[in-house]
Amino acid sequence: MNVSPPVWPDRLFDTLKRADIRQVGYVPDAGHARLIERCKADADIRDVALTTEEEGIALAAGAWLGGERAALLMQSSGVGNCVNMLSLMRACRFPLVTFITMRGEWEEFNPWQVPMGSIVEPVMKLCDAAVLRATKPEDVAPLAERAVQQAFGEERVVAVLLSQELIGKKVWVK
Amino acid sequence: MTGTLERRAAMAALMQGRGDDLLVVPGLGSTTYDLAAAGDNDRNFYLWGAMGGAAMIGLGLALAQPAKRVAVITGDGEMLMGMGALATIGIQQPDNLAIVVFDNGMYGETGGQQSHTGAGVDMGAVARGCGFKVCLEVSDEAGLADLAGRLKHGGLLFARVAIRPDEPPRVLPEKDGAILKRRFRVALGLTA
C-alpha cells in the first residue's frame, strides 16, 4: 500500500484550462488545496480568495457580464452560504461551474459537517443546478468536462460533487 | 450621519457626461430606480435581488474588463449584507473599480427602518481597513462633481455619499434578468 497525493486535482486543473476559465473564486479548503495552488501559479487565471462562498456566485456573474468564464471551488458547508445568491444565476441564466468537496459522508470525524453535507445535493437541485457526482478518481476529469460544457452550453449552474472518499486524508492506490 | 443630498440629483450628477467605457452595477431597490431615472443604458446591469452581491458582481466585471471603468452604486443596507466583499476587493486591488454607497442610514425598500450605518457604523472606516486607499466622504455638490470625475478616470476607490432619507417615486427598469444580461454583453461587443 502506497500513500501518494491524488492526481485528480491536476486533471481538474487541466479541464479548467481547456475550458478557458479565467477567474477562480474559492474559500481555502484542504480538499481543494492542490487545485487552488495550481490556479494561483497560473498567469492567465485570476484567483480570488473569498470571505464567504456566496461572493463567488456574484463574482462569476460579473465575470460573465464582462466576457470571462469563472469557476467556484468550495466545500459542502459553503453551499448553504450560497442559496439566495444562486437566485441571481437562475433569474439571469448565468453560467457557473462549481466543484464541491464533500464533508460529512465518509470517514467524517466531525459530526457538525453532517447536517449540511447530507443536503447538498437536494439543495443544489432546488436551486436549479444540475448536479454530478464523482466518487472515483478516474471519474473526475470526464465529469468536469461534461459540467463545463453543460454550464456554458445551457447557461446554468452545474455542480460537481467530489465525494469525501476521493478526499479522505489518505488515498489508497494499487 | 444622515446627509442632505437628494438621491436622484446625486445619481444624475454622477452619470452626467457618461461615456461608453463606464459600466454601472446598482444594488437592488432604490439605487436601481435612481440609475434608471438618470437614463436607461445598455451598460447598466440593474439588480432586482441578490442582496449583498453588487460589489462582487462589480469585481468580476472589473477583472474581466480591465480597460473599462466599473462603478457599483448601491445602498447602505445592500453593502452591509455583503461587507466581506470589501475585504475581498481590498486584496485584489483592481484599479478600475469604484464602490459607491448611497447612505441614508435606513432600509428604504422595507419601510425606513434604521440600518447599522444609521446606528453609527462607519462604512468608510471599514473600507479603509480593508485596503481601499482612496475613501471619499461625499456630502455636497462639489464632492459629487469630484466623484463624477473619478468615476471616469480614477483608480480603486470607495465613496460614501450622504443622501437624505427620502423615498422618491419609483422608476422601474427592465426586470428580466436574461434580457439585462444579454443587452449588457452585446453592448460590450460580446456574443449575446
Contact list, A67 vs chain B (CB under 8 Å): 64-65, 185, 188, 190
Best probe of the B interface among A46, A55, A69, by most B CBs < 10 A, is: A55
Prediction ipTM score: 0.97
User: Which pairs count as long-range contacts for A108-114, CB under 8 Å and 24+ apart, including other chains?
Assistant: A108/A164, A113/A76, A113/A77
Q: Which of A46, A63, A92 lies nearest to residue B177, judging by beta carbons?
A: A92
Question: How many CB contacts within 8 angstroms connect chain A with chain B?
Answer: 123
Predicted confidence (pLDDT) at residue A173 exceeds the cutoff of 80: no
Spacing of C-alpha B9 from chain mean position: 15
User: In terms of pLDDT, which residue wins out, B148 or A170?
Assistant: B148
DSSP-derived letter for residue B141 is H
β-pairing verdict for B135-138 and B157-162: parallel
Predicted confidence (pLDDT) at residue A2 exceeds the cutoff of 70: no
Q: How far is CA B185 from CA B48, B89, B178, B192, in A?
A: 18, 23, 11, 6
Q: Closest by alpha carbon to B163, among B140, B191, B181, B132? A: B140
Q: What is the dihedral of CA B35, B37, B42, B43, to 10 degrees?
A: -20
Tell me, yes or no, if B52 comes closer than 8 A to chain A by beta carbon. Answer: yes
Summarize the confidence of residues A93-117 as an average pLDDT. Answer: 93
Q: How many domains does chain B have?
A: 1
Domain enclosing residue B102, as ranges: 7-187
Quick one: which H or E segment has residue A8? helix A8-18
DSSP-derived letter for residue B168 is P
Summarize the confidence of residues B71-88 as an average pLDDT. Answer: 98
Residue B121 lies in a domain: yes
B10-64 pLDDT, tens digit per residue, is: 999 999 999 999 999 999 999 999 999 999 999 999 999 999 999 999 999 999 9
Residue B1 lies in a domain: no
The verdict on a CB contact (< 8 Å) between B53 and A57 is yes
Nearest CA in chain B to A23: B60
Region of poorest pLDDT, from A106-110, B126-130, B187-191: A106-110
User: Band of the pLDDT at B186, cuts 50, 70, 90?
Assistant: very high
User: Band of the pLDDT at B96, cuts 50, 70, 90?
Assistant: very high
Predicted confidence (pLDDT) at residue A98 exceeds the cutoff of 90: yes
Taking the CA of residue A165 and the nearest CA in chain B, the distance in Å comes to 31
Contact B3, B164 (CB under 8 A): yes
Residue B192 lies in a domain: no
Contact B13, B142 (CB under 8 A): no
Taking the CA of residue A136 and the nearest CA in chain B, the distance in Å comes to 33
pTM score, whole prediction: 0.96
- pLDDT at position B109 is 87
The verdict on a CB contact (< 8 Å) between A58 and B53 is yes
Cell numbers for B10: 446625486
Predicted confidence (pLDDT) at residue A3 exceeds the cutoff of 70: no
Whole-angstrom distance, CA of residue A31 vs CA of residue A46: 20
The verdict on a CB contact (< 8 Å) between B63 and A66 is yes
Residue B157 lies in a domain: yes
- Tell me, what CATH number does B161's domain have? 3.40.50.970
Predicted confidence (pLDDT) at residue A174 exceeds the cutoff of 90: no
Q: How far is CA B156 from CA A67, B9, B96, in A?
A: 21, 24, 6
- pLDDT at position A6 is 86
Whole-angstrom distance, CA of residue B142 vs CA of residue B5: 11
Residue B71 lies in a domain: yes
Tell me, yes or no, if B91 comes closer than 8 A to chain A by beta carbon. Answer: yes
Contact A97, A71 (CB under 8 A): yes
- pLDDT at position B164 is 96
Region of poorest pLDDT, from A164-168, B166-170, B181-185: A164-168
Tell me, yes or no, if B45 comes closer than 8 A to chain A by beta carbon. Answer: yes
Residue B81 lies in a domain: yes
Give percent above pLDDT 70 in chain A: 95
Predicted confidence (pLDDT) at residue A172 exceeds the cutoff of 60: no
Average confidence score pLDDT of chain A: 93
Radius of gyration, CA atoms only, chain A: 15
Taking the CA of residue A155 and the nearest CA in chain B, the distance in Å comes to 10
User: In terms of pLDDT, which residue wins out, A6 or A62?
Assistant: A62
